Amino acid sequence: MSITPGFAAHEHDHNCIPPLQLLALELIRRGVDIQVIALEYPFRDKPYRWHGIPVFPCNGQNRPWLKPRTLWRALRFCRYILNEKKADTIHSFWLGWASWVGEWAAGQQGIPHVTTLMGQDVLPGNRRFLRGLSAKRCARMVALSRFQNDVFEKNSGFRAGSVIPWGLPDDEIPVVLPSERPLDVLGVGSLIAVKNWEKWLRTLALAAASKPGLRAEVIGDGPERNRLEQLARHLRLKEQVHFAGNLPRREVLIRMQEAKTLLHTARFESFGYALAEAAMNGCRVVSTPVGVAAELGTVAENEPELAALLLKSVEQSVNCQPFVPFLMDKSAEAYIRIYTQSRR
């Protein structure tokens, strides 16, 4: 049984936590029986099936005032699954209410509970759930990268028992990559403060001062979009940066094959799945040192150093080889080992 704040609303909803969807598909391919409880999204009440997996939505809609109802529904679904489906392991995603529900249900039934740390849940702002952890419980937690585990230790005093990177599926690895890439710089992610798009634009402006005519695109949307578009005009980047908004994931992967470099300037990433997707599609990675960026490309903290790395990257010959250090079948194997060992 898996518990997560959000899950795909239907089989064509590819943008809702893509690596979680891909892990679920790989697990069912290996014969793992999965049931999913989704606390907040999708915004619907009735259970449904996703690639054969039963999904039980609590329809919390990310509304704090609905939290009691959301948790009541989650606990009711837990009882049903544990009593009727006889689940033998609980896997929660995010150290938050999903892990709280998982810990409660595991205690009621005396079965193992594994939690994957997903993102900003390891930061000090999540002190409600970081407080009161124990070494025993953290041994049942999974980090997505060494970087994330270091941050988790700094803020909780404990390390997750395992590190399992998000992998990429075999069937998405390109056989042939294009020999020409019309786009110089690509940015992918939600337009929110933690992604630090202001640094992205200022880095691009420094690079453009040395290399006029750089072509760049930002894929994603969010509350900071208007401010960032204004900043782009202020930095005289209006003609060079296209804000594309949200795009389907498959289209984002195509865009990555059209770009020379993915520039990523986030303040924090637990993993950074877009970084791995870009590397898979032959797009060079220049990033702040977050998540797995240092394992996939070159990293720097400040704007001048990032701009220098960006210029070096776009001036190199087109990269025609996918770089895939993390595979989803390996991720699934690692989780299955944890499920098996935890039941002994």
**Average pLDDT score over residue span 265-290:** 97
Rounded to 5°, the CA angle 68-73-78 comes to 125
Which pair of structure tokens corresponds to residue 179?
């020999």
The per-residue pLDDT for 236 is 94
The per-residue pLDDT for 82 is 87
Q: Is there a common fold for 2-167+327-342 and 170-315?
A: yes
Identify whether the C-beta of residue 263 lies closer than 8 Å to the C-beta of residue 186: yes
User: By percentage, how much of the chain surpasses pLDDT 70?
Assistant: 99
The per-residue pLDDT for 36 is 97
The per-residue pLDDT for 132 is 87
Question: Residue written as tokens 């009727």?
Answer: 84
Which pair of structure tokens corresponds to residue 196?
């630090």
pLDDT in tens, 5-51: 999 999 999 999 999 999 999 999 999 999 999 999 999 999 999 99
Lowest mean pLDDT among 23-27, 78-82, 134-138: 78-82
Identify whether the C-beta of residue 130 lies closer than 8 Å to the C-beta of residue 95: yes
Residue range 2-167+327-342, CATH number = 3.40.50.2000
Where does 233-283 show beta strands of DSSP type E? 241-245, 259-264
Confidence bin at 344 (pLDDT 50/70/90): low
The per-residue pLDDT for 206 is 97
Identify residue 144 by its one-letter amino acid code. Answer: L
Q: Which CATH superfamily is domain 170-315 in?
A: Glycogen Phosphorylase B; (3.40.50.2000)
pTM of the model: 0.94
| Domain extents in the chain | 2-167+327-342, 170-315
CA atoms within 13 A on the CB side of 277: 24
